[in-house]
Amino acid sequence: MNNRPIRDTYLPYGRQWIDDEDIDSVVNVLKGDYLTTGPFVSDFEREIANYVGAKYAVTFSNGTAALHGACFAAGIGEGDEVITTPLTFAASANCVLYQGGQPVFADIDEKTYNIDPKEIERKITKKTKAIIPVHFTGEPASMDEIHDIVKKHNLIIIEDAAHALGATYKQKKIGSNSDMTMFSFHPVKHITSGEGGIITTNNKEYYDKLLQFRSHGITRDSGKMFENHGPWYYEMHFLGYNYRMTDIQAALASSQLKKLDKFLDLRKKYVSMYNEAFKKISAITIPYQNEDSNSSWHLYVIRLHLEQLTGNRKDIFNALVQENIGVNVHYIPVYFLPYYQGLGYQQGLCPNAEKLYEEVLTLPLFPAMTESDVLDVINAVYKVITRYSS
């Protein structure tokens, strides 16, 4: 039996692509007059708004801060309930807690792994204020059905599109059609600013609130002031935060945005290679692809049929790591986390999400991979699954 790893070096599940153009864009800022929030931030906001087809965009220091800003702009407060999926990073629910609201978890669709509109409807109460659907892995959620629910109950939609920059739903880019949409620019995302996030919206009132919220609740707009002592004067109207993006970050993100379509094409190419290889393995379910949408493929998640395998998911995970393949698991259901358990959430809330959690693995997928890297992942999966096949 060959015990030598498939790879000699470790392949992470995600990694940024930085080239000389990106580096030059940052150096250009460092040589200029503005390092914090300046003209590069405004330029990048316009570029993102134009790319997704929204009227406005407001940058933040990270995606979590952007979600917090969206919850503030939506007026979420004490006693309000906000429905979201448990199959996400904690930020999708934490942003509700920051505002004093209560996250309510609705189960996922077993096919798409996205929040199930029927479960959303079932969880709505008189206290429900908003819905935060998450486009898990970059596959858009069932937005037509969610929009119908929102209209019926007069709710607000904040799309968590951290995974979905460049994704489309019924020929429209994600980020153009809901009250607010958040994108993340963490290094493993489609483009990066190091850390960073943005909210897109078509609503001028939300736009103004977001701008003020990210800067301590302060305004220098004389039209909004109660008084005006002179050119130096500003007023703080509510308790905001210092959530501003810097020009350094914005310059990097703007340079990255020019390469986004190339990045998306590479992701789709590697996904096609994975799908072709793994559809032949009965112990694996490959990701679902909706004909009405175009995923941006942030993550490639396989589902293991453990009844066909002699090992559990942890065994498969560890075996792939031994092959120097950087697998991961997305996600631990949010209400499994000790803090949420301490708030009174109990396991059993969302059976579909909990079962999926026990059976999924995230394989490496990022533009800086090569076809050889992809083949290494495929060969490692074949090797490990063969070893554990019953």
| Residues 6+ positions from 244 with CB-CB distance below 8 Å | 36, 37, 41, 59, 60, 61, 214, 215
Q: Write phi, then psi, for 369 (nearest 5 degrees).
A: -65, 160
Which residues on adjacent β-strands are paired with residue 199? Answer: 58, 182
Tokens representing 69? Answer: 């800003």
The continuous run of DSSP H or E covering 342 comes out as: helix 338-342
- The per-residue pLDDT for 125 is 98
Per the listing, tokens 């959430």 go with 345
| Residues 6+ positions from 311 with CB-CB distance below 8 Å | 319, 388
Which residues on adjacent β-strands are paired with residue 159? Answer: 181
- The per-residue pLDDT for 153 is 98
Helix 371-388 × helix 260-278 angle, to 10°: 30
In the 8-state DSSP scheme, what is residue 364?
P
Angle (nearest 5°) at CA 184 between 178 and 188: 140
The continuous run of DSSP H or E covering 100 comes out as: none
| Residues 6+ positions from 172 with CB-CB distance below 8 Å | 53
- The per-residue pLDDT for 82 is 98
Sheet bearing 168-169, strands edge to edge: 172-173, 168-169, 293-294
Q: Detail the DSSP E strand segments found in 66-176.
A: 81-84, 102-105, 128-132, 156-160, 168-169, 172-173
Q: Detail the DSSP E strand segments found in the chain.
A: 56-60, 81-84, 102-105, 128-132, 156-160, 168-169, 172-173, 180-184, 197-201, 218-219, 235-236, 284-285, 293-294, 300-304, 360-363
Q: Are 328 and 298 in contact (CB under 8 A)?
A: no
Residue 24: CB atoms within 10 A of its CB come to 11
Helix 20-30 × helix 247-257 angle, to 10°: 150
Handedness of CA 285, 288, 289, 294 (dihedral sign): negative
Q: Are 218 and 235 in contact (CB under 8 A)?
A: yes
- The per-residue pLDDT for 142 is 97
Tens-level pLDDT at each residue, the chain (390 residues): 468 999 999 999 999 999 999 999 999 999 999 899 889 999 999 999 999 999 999 999 999 999 999 999 999 999 999 999 999 999 999 999 999 999 999 999 999 999 999 999 999 999 999 999 999 999 999 999 999 999 999 999 999 999 999 999 999 999 999 999 999 999 999 999 999 999 999 999 999 999 999 999 999 988 888 998 988 889 999 999 999 999 999 999 999 999 999 999 999 999 999 999 999 999 999 999 998 899 999 999 999 999 999 999 999 999 999 999 999 999 999 999 999 999 999 999 999 999 999 999 999 999 999 999 999 999 999 999 999 996
Q: Are 298 and 137 in contact (CB under 8 A)?
A: yes
Q: Which domains does the chain have, with CATH numbers?
A: 20-257 (3.40.640.10), 260-388 (3.90.1150.10)
Tokens representing 351? Answer: 């059976």
What residue type is assigned to position 53 of the chain?
G
DSSP string for residues in 295-340? ---S-EEEEE-GGGBSS-HHHHHHHHHHTTB--B-----GGGSHHH
- The per-residue pLDDT for 225 is 83
pTM of the model: 0.96
